[in-house]
Amino acid sequence: MRRSVGSNDRMRGEDSTMEQRLSLVTLGIRDLERAIAFYRALGWEPHPSSVAGEVAFYQTGGIVVALWSRDALSADSGVSDGGGWGGITLAHNVATTAEVDGILVAAAAAGGRIARRAAPTEWGGYSGVFVDLDGHPWEIAVNPGWSLEADGTTRLG
């Protein structure tokens, strides 16, 4: 069949293969207004298509991040909720160590937990981790081995 998206070397033409890309990351939250306020303190604004009291969407480069009820997400995903962290960590790469430090300060000021203080890493970078109000960790990193392009794209070296 014809595809409605363009082809490139990352994309496959067969129906039964999955293009090598991600569209949406949904973070389960307990209190939507509290979660929106936390991310707003870091500079994130919900998209106008967000639904008050229900779901917040963020256009984050070429993908979408959503905040939605953790219970609803668990049911919708067909999984049992382990109740804690479940094996996924997000990262946000920046160009300078000062940006790493600044974002961690802002996250702590907004009520986030600093789970790992910013420091040089064994892989030659610099990073620290904050955990948001719903337990989702974000590593904030400078990675000299990867490229951070003008449009925010993170490119493997």
Number of other CB atoms surrounding residue 46 within 10 Å:
20
Does 156 help bind a second copy (rule: CB under 8 A)? Answer: yes
Does 112 help bind a second copy (rule: CB under 8 A)? Answer: no
Does 125 help bind a second copy (rule: CB under 8 A)? Answer: no
Does 144 help bind a second copy (rule: CB under 8 A)? Answer: no
103: its two tokens: 């974002």
3-state SS class at 40: helix
Tell me which residues in 14-73 interact with a second copy (CB under 8 A): 14-29, 42-45, 47, 49, 57-65, 70, 73
- In the bound state with a second copy, the residue whose beta carbon lies nearer, of 32 and 141, is 141
143 residue type, one letter: N
| Phi, psi (rounded to 5 degrees) for 89 | -125, 140
Tell me which residues in 64-93 interact with a second copy (CB under 8 A): 64-65, 70, 73-74, 76-93
Q: Which of 145, 105, 99, 150 is nearest to 125 (CA)?
A: 145
Q: Which of 133, 38, 26 is nearest to 88 (CA)?
A: 26
Number of residues that bind a second copy (CB under 8 A): 95
Q: How far is the CB of 31 from a second copy (least distance, A)?
A: 13
Does 103 help bind a second copy (rule: CB under 8 A)? Answer: yes
34 residue type, one letter: R
Q: How far is the CB of 8 from a second copy (least distance, A)?
A: 7
